[in-house]
Amino acid sequence: MYKSSNKIIVIIFILFLLSVNIFNVLTPDKDFSESENRVLAKVPKFSMKNLMSGRFSSKFENYITDQFPFRDFWVAVKSDMERLALKTENNGIYFGKDGYLLEDYKKNNEQLMENIESINGFANRLPNVLTHFLLVPNSVKIYEDKLPLFASPYDQLESINMVKENLYENVDFLHVYDILNNKKDEYIYFKTDHHWTMRGAYYTYELWAKQLGIEPYPINDFNSEIVSNSFYGTFYSKSNNRRVPPDSIEIFKPKFHVEYNVSYLDNNKSSDSLYEYSHLNKKDKYSIFLDGNHALITIKTNINNDKKLVVFKDSYSHCFIPFLANHYDEIHVIDLRYYKLNIYDYIQEHAIKEALFLYNMTTFSDDKNIQLLNI
């Protein structure tokens, strides 16, 4: 009797393996995983050299893993099992309270100091350019009370204070932790993504304007609109936690009249809007703000106050710049990860007298491209 039952189990298992492989052969490979926001592995090219070195078998294993039938379903099952096992972290993402996914922060002291010195060098090299620095804490600092038990990220406030202390006096530093921490009960950071929301950016814009002696526009001078209720961001993709609700995306448009001419120089595209709505139909919905990452963007307005600003940034700037655009004739947005020309020649050529560095704490701690300021 036991032998018969064992045979049945073996036959069922063999049939399962055969059906999976047949299905895998008949199903076209997927190029991209929307849920994980990454390119999936393709069939590796076979050669005796790759086979003998072990590279072929390693790549083939990655291919089978990525193209496994019903992969998203099995990833969700794995996620559920990990939560049942009370796992509190995956791929550096903590499973926080109230649906918050929070990224672990580790201080990179050497790179951080090099980046500080790069900004100091920029300010000294261009003494006639007013230099501002806006360093934004990440959600892991603002929502420490949401962290799971025994989570121990490095305190970002210590890093922010260290940056402030090591900047030269000719760099105008904007300390935004207090205002964001005071507004933490509002929707100022996404729960499934590493960015802040446009509402969080607004409260920072208010503080920035007052520090510069500019009258900020009250929040009631903008029309607020929820453009998506189905945004799953980078933390969702990294953590494989499939049981958290999606984020919503809110945008603000001025009630007062301002004309914008936005040019994306790396692909010769232009627009009269600071928002690219086509991204709402894609995985990376945050790219509605300024069409995502570009090497160089110029924004020209009809404000006619002869003020020009250059912004060196990461993607935290994308939902902040729409507020800045209501105060400048021109804004030149440079992403040092992609822009490889001489930035000093560019500033001189366009007669720019004001610069803003806008980074989130995690990026500023690790980004080696900021050292291009030293060229």
Using alpha carbons, list the distances in angstroms from residue 24 to 19, 20, 68, 318: 8, 6, 7, 41
H or E stretch at 14:
helix 2-26
What pLDDT was estimated at residue 25? 52
Contact 358, 314 (CB under 8 A): yes
The reply to whether the predicted model has a pTM over 0.85 is no
Phi, psi for 36 (deg, rounded to 5): -95, -10
Helices vs. strands in the chain: H and E counts, helices first: 13, 15
Tell me what pLDDT residue 36 has: 45
What is the chain's Cα-based Rg?
A: 24
Task: Residue 33: name the closest of 285, 283, 288 by CA.
Answer: 283
Q: Pick the closest to residue 189 from 200, 177, 179, 178 (CA basis).
A: 200
Assign 313 to helix, strand or coil.
strand
Q: How far apart are CA 257 and CA 270, in angstroms?
A: 20
Give yes or no for a contact between 325 and 303, defined as CB atoms under 8 angstroms apart.
Answer: no
Give the residue carrying structure tokens 């001025």.
254
pLDDT at residue 37, rounded to an integer:
45
CA–CA gap between residue 159 and residue 165 (Å, rounded): 10
Q: What are phi and psi of 44, to 5 degrees?
A: -75, 150
Mean pLDDT by 10 residues, the chain (375 residues): 55 52 55 49 62 58 53 56 68 94 93 97 98 98 96 97 97 97 98 98 97 96 98 92 91 98 94 98 96 98 97 98 98 96 97 98 96 91
